Structure 1
Amino acid sequence: ELDGSGHLEPDQADYDNGRSALLAELGYRVLRFSNEQALNQTETTLAAIKASL
């Protein structure tokens, strides 16, 4: 998932954490990256995604 600055807000962070926990219970692994990481560190972000597969 790509998270913008709004995801730093406490209510949004709580929602995100709950959603990630639910997805984990269903067998999914959630990877979180900031928009900045995806845009400015694209190769590193892609490497992290590939490493998780």
Structure 2
Amino acid sequence: KDVSNILNLSSKRNAELNVGRFLRIILGIVGGGIGASPDVVIVAMVEGV
């Protein structure tokens, strides 16, 4: 039971990392015109969740 919970957490974390990487690429492209740092935006989004 504990092992499955750990696996679920790790897979969820990996999914979040993939989404973050995707967002970073998108924001890197779009953020250049906005002038906001993609990392700051991502941190704000992650902390918000």
- Normalising by structure 1, report the TM-score: 0.41
User: In proportion to residue count, which structure has more helix?
Assistant: 2
User: In proportion to residue count, which structure has more strand?
Assistant: 1
Greater relative contact order, per chain length (Cα 8 Å cut-off, separation 6+): 1
Larger radius of gyration: 2
- Normalising by structure 2, report the TM-score: 0.44
